[in-house]
Amino acid sequence: MCDDYRARLIPCAIAAQTSGLSDIVTALSQAYPEVDIDGLSRRAASLRLRLTADRLSGVLLLDHTRELTTAMIGFLRRLRGGIVGALLAVDIDSDFERERLLGWRRHALCVRMPLIASRGLRRHLLCECARRDMPAIESKVARHIIHAARGRVGWLHECVRRLQMPDYWEGGQLHIGGLCTDTEIAVREGGCGPRMSRRSIRAHIGA
């Protein structure tokens, strides 16, 4: 989505993890990098960015939304005059998290993303590996990855990104357990780098 908006010269930015107003303001500053906010307080910076968004509409993509505070809701509502939209992506894997979401949905449209079937995930996995010039994945490895993805295409994207990291390989062998575990953690927490050390990988492979 971000690539599409930027290709059409629409200001757009992504917050990799959204847990406070500062994450939204940071994303807004990335969408409008020409706005000088150095030396300003958070309140002054927020106001300057909001006024810029009112003149030139843009899009905010707020991923891994873990909290939605009163300050965040108020700021997003004030953006309605000029901002094209703010999309909040929330990972929900339990009934408890689904109940928590009900309190966030005031005055908002909520769309539940459908899970992708295993066949579609497999096709997507092969296409992504080919696009990144990665070697072919063994069938059993592909099955393990698709099973761990549980229909989540975002999870699959993060897993493919990590497949390129040398930290998950040792002597030509892939530590699939560590890869899938770290992918799950990264998706839930918005992390980027590998969590498993080489020493830990060797121990698992040796076992």
Of the two residues 148 and 134, the one the predictor is more confident about is 148
Q: Per-residue pLDDT averaged across 160-166, rounded?
A: 90
**DSSP letters for 98-121:** HHHHHTT-TT----PPPPPPHHHH
- Is residue 95 very low, low, confident or very high in pLDDT (cuts 50, 70, 90)? low
Q: List the Cα angle 172/122/62 in 5-degree steps.
A: 95
- pTM tops 0.85: no
Confidence of residue 198 (pLDDT cuts 50, 70, 90): very low
Buried b or exposed e, range 121-149, using 16+ CB within 10 angstroms = bbebbeebbeeeeeeebeeeebebbbebb
pLDDT in the model for residue 196? 43
Tokens of 11: 């200001």
Tens-place pLDDT, residues 19-65: 888 898 899 899 999 988 888 888 888 888 888 888 888 888 888 77
Is residue 9 predicted with pLDDT exceeding 80?
A: yes
| Mean pLDDT across 101-123 | 74
Provide the 10 A C-beta neighbour count for residue 58.
22
Which tens digit of pLDDT belongs to each residue from 127-141? Answer: 888 888 888 888 999
* pLDDT, averaged across the chain: 79
| Radius of gyration over every alpha carbon of the chain, rounded to an integer in angstroms | 20
Whether the predicted pLDDT of 143 surpasses 90: yes
Evaluate if residue 96 carries a pLDDT over 70: no
| Residue 99: how many other CB atoms lie within 10 Å | 10
| pLDDT > 70: percent of the chain | 75
Tens-digit pLDDT profile for residues 175-192? 999 999 999 888 776 554
In the numeric block, which tokens belong to residue 141? 């490895």
pLDDT of residue 107: 53
CA 146/CA 154 separation, integer angstroms: 12
Instruction: Output the pLDDT for position 119.
Output: 92
